[in-house]
Amino acid sequence: MKKTLLSILSLLITLCSFSQGIQFEHGTWTEVLEKAKISQKPIFIDVFTTWCGPCNMMSNEVFPLAEVGKVYNTNFICYKVDAEKGEGAIIANQYAVNAFPTYLFLKADKSLIMKSVGRMPADKFISLSENVKEELGTSKTITVWDKEYVQKKSDSSFLLAYMHKRSRLGMKNAALFDEYLTLLPNEKRATKDVIELYKQEGENLKITSVAYKNLQTNAFVLYPQLGGYSNSILSFAVENSFKEAIKTKNELLLQQVIDANENIPKIQQPKQKEEFYIGYYKGTKEIDKYVSHATTYSETTLMTVSLDTIEKQDKANYQIFEQSKGLYLSMMKDSARVKELGDYMAHTIHSKYSEALNDIAWGFFENVSDTKALENALRWSKRSLEIYPSEESADTYANLLYKLGRKEEAIIKEKEALEIAKTKKSETKSYEDVIKKMKAGEKTWK
């Protein structure tokens, strides 16, 4: 009788656990590792940040589902870490986490089984667990593959299989993709395998890569197969190369980036020409050039667009969305994401101009001390708030007021930023900290 009661109790606990979704461990990383060793289960880690929208969506809508809990609680020791705090920051750095949310699947010895990124519906998230089990069942680990690569790097079939293995582990293959294409004759650089590699690695390419040049050379065959994603790949390559130009302070590469950007359809272009100069000189800390380009662009482009024009453009964009709403629902199979897309389309142009003005105004706040330049930035910040109010824009305006010596006005405006953040249920601590510093007369900038 006692044994039966214990069995029933165990079953009830299990069912309760599943009904509550994923049950995350609350101990230290060392304790989690020890539990994994004892249970002989792999570890699932959700690496998140507090400001990450997709992270919150997964935590609120996917992780609590009973069907998700049943799979993950049975097969894994589950753990959540904030990538910006304590042990979470150490784990994120150790496994090269640079996007959120990232899902790490590890053995108890800390070796990586698989890595995945981004929000996803429950069925796809559950399918990750199947991939992990399949990976655990193989005897050919990534270490073995790495050793074979040294000997077989000139074998295109091996390279293709090697890239698939690495992709399953969440590893990037842009350099290997170039090596693979180099081994192929031109007539075989647009096969199904190549197209799949573009889909996997498109966001990691650069304008100097073989894959980027191949996309242009074989555009007639590749573009129809990739659809609209081909333009996205071009945009990714431009952005990646732009970051490299800043990092290496390479103005020649900057010009190549600007030229490459001109070849992307206008609707897909990540930036206008002047924005590249602004971002580049800000990134390389050439402040005089940054101020010159940012002032010209703000006064002649961003400040000259009327609110009426912006409103008409957003209405037109939303009408297009409404006409295609059914298609989005059938493709995404997620009504919440479709609604989110619709909300974005309703004010995308408002956001574009508001964010552009706010970014420049904030850049001046952080890097400029000249009063006249700061007064200009204050005007741009005010216009940003008029176009599309947000906690970020209100915070920028408040900080500029404060830097210009208008303390009382600054505190009032920072409190507005805090209230907007509360309304949106966004992070509020940074705004509270700024208010404290302003009241105490402390600097709010570096």
- Which phi and psi (to 5°) does residue 169 adopt? -90, 5
Q: CA 315 to CA 435: how far, in whole Å?
A: 37
Query: 411's torsion region: left (phi>0), alpha (psi -120 to 50) or beta?
Result: alpha
Catalytically annotated residue among 22, 55, 104, 421: 55
Contacts of 148 (CB under 8 A, 6+ apart): 158, 162
Which strands, in side-by-side order, build the sheet including 43-48?
77-82, 43-48, 102-106, 112-117
By the 8 A CB rule, do 430 and 388 touch?
Answer: no
- Which phi and psi (to 5°) does residue 301 adopt? -120, -65
| Secondary structure (H, E, C), the chain | CHHHHHHHHHHHHHHHHHHCCCCCECCCHHHHHHHHHHHCCCEEEEEECCCCHHHHHHHHHHCCCHHHHHHHHHHCEEEEEECCCHHHHHHHHHCCCCCCCEEEEECCCCCEEEEEECCCCHHHHHHHHHHHHHHHCCCCCHHHHHHHHHHHCCCHHHHHHHHHHHHHCCCCCHHHHHHHHHHCCHHHCCCHHHHHHHHHHHHHCCCCCHHHHHHHHCHHHHHHHHCCHHHHHHHHHHHHHHHHHHHHCCHHHHHHHHHHHHCCCHHHCCCCHHHHHHHHHHHCCCHHHHHHHHHHHHHHCHHHCCHHHHHHHHHHHHHHHHHCHHHHHHHHCCHHHHHHHHHHHHCHHHHHHHHHHHHHHHHHHHHCCCHHHHHHHHHHHHHHHHHCCCHHHHHHHHHHHHHCCCHHHHHHHHHHHHHHHHHCCCCCHHHHHHHHHHHHCCCCCC
Catalytically annotated residue among 43, 47, 52, 417: 52
Q: CA 387 to CA 262: how far, in whole Å?
A: 28
Q: For 75-85, give one letter per residue: b (16+ CB within 10 A) or e.
A: bbbbbbbbbee
52 is catalytic: yes
Q: Which residues are catalytic?
A: 52, 55
